[in-house]
Amino acid sequence: MAQIRIQNVRKEFGSFTAVRSSSFTVEDGEFFMLLGPSGCGKTTTLRMMAGLELPTSGEIYIDGEEVAMKRASQRDIAFVFQMFALYPHMNVRKNISYPLLSQGMPRAEARRQVEEVARILKIEHILDRPVGGLSGGDRQRVALGRAIVRRPKAFFMDEPLGALDAEFREHMAEELRALHDRIGATTVYVTHDQLEAMQMGDKIVVMNHGVVEQFGKPQEIYDWPATKFVARFIGSPAMNLLDFEGAIDVGGDSVELSGQKVSVPSSRQGAGGKLTVGVRPEHISFSDASNYRGRVVATEYLGTTQIITLATPNGEAKARTSSREIIRAGETIGLEFNSSTITLFEGANGQALLSQANERVLRHG
């Protein structure tokens, strides 16, 4: 397996720029997620890493070798597509063995390796069946088998579970992560589903309009978003973003929301003008003693928890709380924020300004 390094990679299609000077590193053996909405540049980035697209500029290293201008066949990688891309006229065994036989491997050795991969994927019982009659999940296993059978340096996967229904998709995500852990593969995986990325990934790159917004571990990105876009995109419900105008003095530990002070992590720099307070729904609690008030607009029952939507002086907020709390639409209640979890953002450019993560590296490259 191999480390993969992307350095200032850019891709233009005529006058349209799909990827803008992206840089990040996939460490050897990592399960690495490229996450973002449709059109953000994640699939184009993956295709450049795999050699299916050539970058306009920048460098791509696989296992220390610069490969930006090399064809996919010269990179020792395997690609798994969303729509399986199996050979319909071949059975399962022939589909999996095809890359081995096409490279001249003796049939006996190819058969041994196919059967070993089939055991890993638990598809020994369908090896001699035609692929046309298989379920979506079994077809995806066959596609994975064809990718891993020759043990490439890296695996690239473009939304490989996107064609499956929601329940089976979650099951296959667990299986795919377990498979990764067993074979120790370097894997780069594209998805628009933030829950899938958080569930499976060791590291995540969040992209938007061709730009890397943030790069880090799932928990880092969830707790300390580097931009307002990441705060909105990660989490269900998303992080609350409350806009206000105010000033924070050097060393200050509070901001004013509509004339009422809210505690925030201690600042190391002054700031003023339009700012945004970011706080996750689970970090808002209710207290009669609080002087920051919100009017309950709606409640959404989710079993053990409920989502409370509130109108505040600085915008709509959602709170996640126990479903045992009796809260009714129309009432006004006091809100308390867990100050250690608050992130402040610049109102103009949306960049994280100050948070408990001041000592952390939120952006890489």
Q: How confident is the model at residue 58 (pLDDT cuts 50, 70, 90)?
A: very high
Residue-by-residue DSSP string for 16-31: EEEEEEEEEEE-TT-E
How do residues 188-223 score in pLDDT, each as one tens digit? 999 999 999 999 999 999 999 999 999 999 999 999
- Span 315-328, mean pLDDT? 94
Question: What share of the chain has pLDDT > 90, as a percent?
Answer: 57
**Encoded amino acid at 102, one letter:** S
Q: How confident is the model at residue 165 (pLDDT cuts 50, 70, 90)?
A: confident
Beta bridge partners of 10: 57
pLDDT for 128:
93
How do residues 109-162 score in pLDDT, each as one tens digit? 999 999 988 988 889 999 999 988 888 888 888 988 888 888 888 999 998 887
Beta bridge partners of 245: 274
Angle, alpha carbons 83-84-88 (nearest 5°): 110
Q: How many whole angstroms separate alpha carbon 53 and alpha carbon 228? A: 30
CA-based radius of gyration for the chain: 24
pLDDT for 356:
46
**Domains, the chain, ordered by start:** 4-223 (3.40.50.300), 238-359 (2.40.50.140)
**Element (H or E) spanning 276, and its range?**
strand 271-279
State pTM to two decimals: 0.85
**Mean pLDDT value across the chain:** 86
The interaxial angle of helices 136-148 and 166-183, nearest 10 deg, is 20
Whether the per-residue pLDDT at 30 is higher than 80: the answer is yes
In contact, 92 and 124? CB cutoff 8 Å: no
How do residues 341-357 score in pLDDT, each as one tens digit? 888 888 778 888 755 44
